[in-house]
Structure 1
Amino acid sequence: MALSAPSTNPQALIAQEVSPEQTFTTFTASTAWTLGNALRERILSLPEGTRRPSLINIALATATSGGLPPHVVFQSATESGTIPDNENWVRRKRNTVLRWGVSSWAMRQKNVSALAAGATADEVEAAFVKKFALASANGGAVADDYAIHGGGYPIRVRGVEGIVAVVVVSGLKQEDDHQVVAETIRDVIAKGN
Structure 2
Amino acid sequence: MDPTPEFLAELESHEQTIIFPEFTSKTALELGNALIAACPSGKGITVSIIKNGHLMFYHSMDGCNPDNDHWIQRKNRTVNRFHMSSYRFGRELAAKGQKLKDRYCSEEEYCEHGGAFPLKVKGSGVIGTITVSGLPQHDDHMLFVNTAKKYLNLA
Whether TM exceeds 0.5 here: the answer is yes
Q: Does 1:75 align with 2:58?
A: yes
Residue 27 of structure 2: SS of its match in structure 1? helix
> Which of 48, 55, 77 does residue 46 from structure 2 map onto?
55
Partner of residue 19, structure 2: 23
CA shift for structure 1 position 104: 0.5
Contact 2:49 2:58 in 1 (8 A): yes
Letter in 2 for 1:130: K
Contact 2:34 2:147 in 1 (8 A): yes
Residue-by-residue CA offset, 1:65-101 (whole Å, 9 max, x unaligned): xxxxx321000123x1211111000000011111101
Residue-by-residue CA offset, 1:30-68 (whole Å, 9 max, x unaligned): 10001000000000xx25xxx5211000011x2xxxxxx
How does the TM-score come out when normalised to structure 2?
Answer: 0.90
How does the TM-score come out when normalised to structure 1?
Answer: 0.73
Where in structure 1 are there 5+ consecutive unaligned residues?
A: 1-6, 63-69, 116-126, 136-142
Partner of residue 155, structure 1: 119
CA shift for structure 1 position 163: 0.7
Residue 107 of structure 1: SS of its match in structure 2? helix
Structure with the bigger percentage of helix? 2
Contact 1:18 1:156 in 2 (8 A): no
Where in structure 2 are there 5+ consecutive unaligned residues?
A: none
The alignment covers a number of residue pairs equal to 150
Whose radius of gyration is greater, 1 or 2? Answer: 1
Cα distance between partner residues in 2 of 1:150 and 1:129: 14
> Which of 41, 49, 66 does residue 84 from structure 1 map onto?
66
Cα distance between partner residues in 2 of 1:153 and 1:129: 18
Partner of residue 33, structure 2: 37
Percentage of matched positions with identical amino acids: 30
Structure with the bigger percentage of strand? 2
> Which of 9, 12, 30 does residue 11 from structure 1 map onto?
9
Letter in 2 for 1:133: Y
Residue 129 of structure 2: SS of its match in structure 1? strand
